Structure 1
Amino acid sequence: MTTPNFNLPLITGNMTADVPRDMNALAEATDGAITQVGNQLTEHLNEGKQYVVFEKTLNQSVASMITTNVSWTTIENFNGADYCRLENGNIFVNEDGLYELSVILGYASNGSGHRQVGLKGSFQTSTNAVQNGNTFIALTNTIEYQTGQQVSVNAYQTSSVALDLIATTCKLKIRKVASL
């Protein structure tokens, strides 16, 4: 007879008392249960260290006042993260889950209008474009995705002319927060 959760031995009234045997059985079962819990905790903590980074290696033009889906060119997995894939510039999730996305976009220099970055329904808008230099804008959001669903990052700007997203300044980090 054992305990329901960790299978620790129980002593019943009809058993012969043998203290060394019973103590050893309890010690072995406790050691096994603690090892199991420790392994599960370590696995859970290591999952939190997994993430995927997508980057652009080519500039991408964003027309004025038109929402543009950002196209990605490279993927790098960290600590065994394999829950996303890159296909023809588009990102897809491989597993149902809740994901934390952090993106930064760098727009080419132009002193007029506003810049935006969007993630599945939420947008971050810059208050002003930078007069002499690139405009950078970032957004972090936690979003639920189903297997096979596309992860879209949208760029939008209102400068009255097309502006480039500068390749080396555009990154997206995805970390799986929870399985669903």
Structure 2
Amino acid sequence: MELIKAAEKDIALIQDLARKSWENTYAEILSNEQLEYMLGTMYSEEEISAHLQNPEFHYYLILDENNNSFEGFIGYEHGYEEGTTKLHRIYLVPESKGKGFGKGALEFLKQKVKERGEGRIILNVNKHNSAKKFYESQGYKIYDEGIFHIGNNFFMDDYLMEFIFHK
């Protein structure tokens, strides 16, 4: 597995990987209307481009070197809160789940956060998303929950999770 820093030229690939992952992950959780709305806003070319231009926001593509194929991506933001990096996005295409790519990407993130000198990683996960168990297996714990209005009369019902680095 190799993580490759994403650039503007990779926006269409990120959008394609997001769609493949979301259609599998959220088909039973979100209505098709909400899924399309969220993909259209959160993964618009303008939105991803703005992230890529933010020096604190980083996207990495997850490459399976054995098959020379992109299996997903991770997007995170340093300095989201004091001493905290926010994991905004980590998605894998369905056929790559269970092969260690997610765990490898989270280990990569932990290393980047340590290098930055921050002590905490936070993320939101849908309350019905099985990824919650995966995060827990990697040392993340629920510290809160929330319902967030995301526009167009759609809401996200999430657990807020954190990983704390112990000194």
Q: Normalising to structure 2: TM-score of the pair? A: 0.24
Larger RCO of the pair (alpha carbons < 8 Å, separation 6+): 1
Q: Normalising to structure 1: TM-score of the pair? A: 0.23
| Structure showing greater Rg | 1
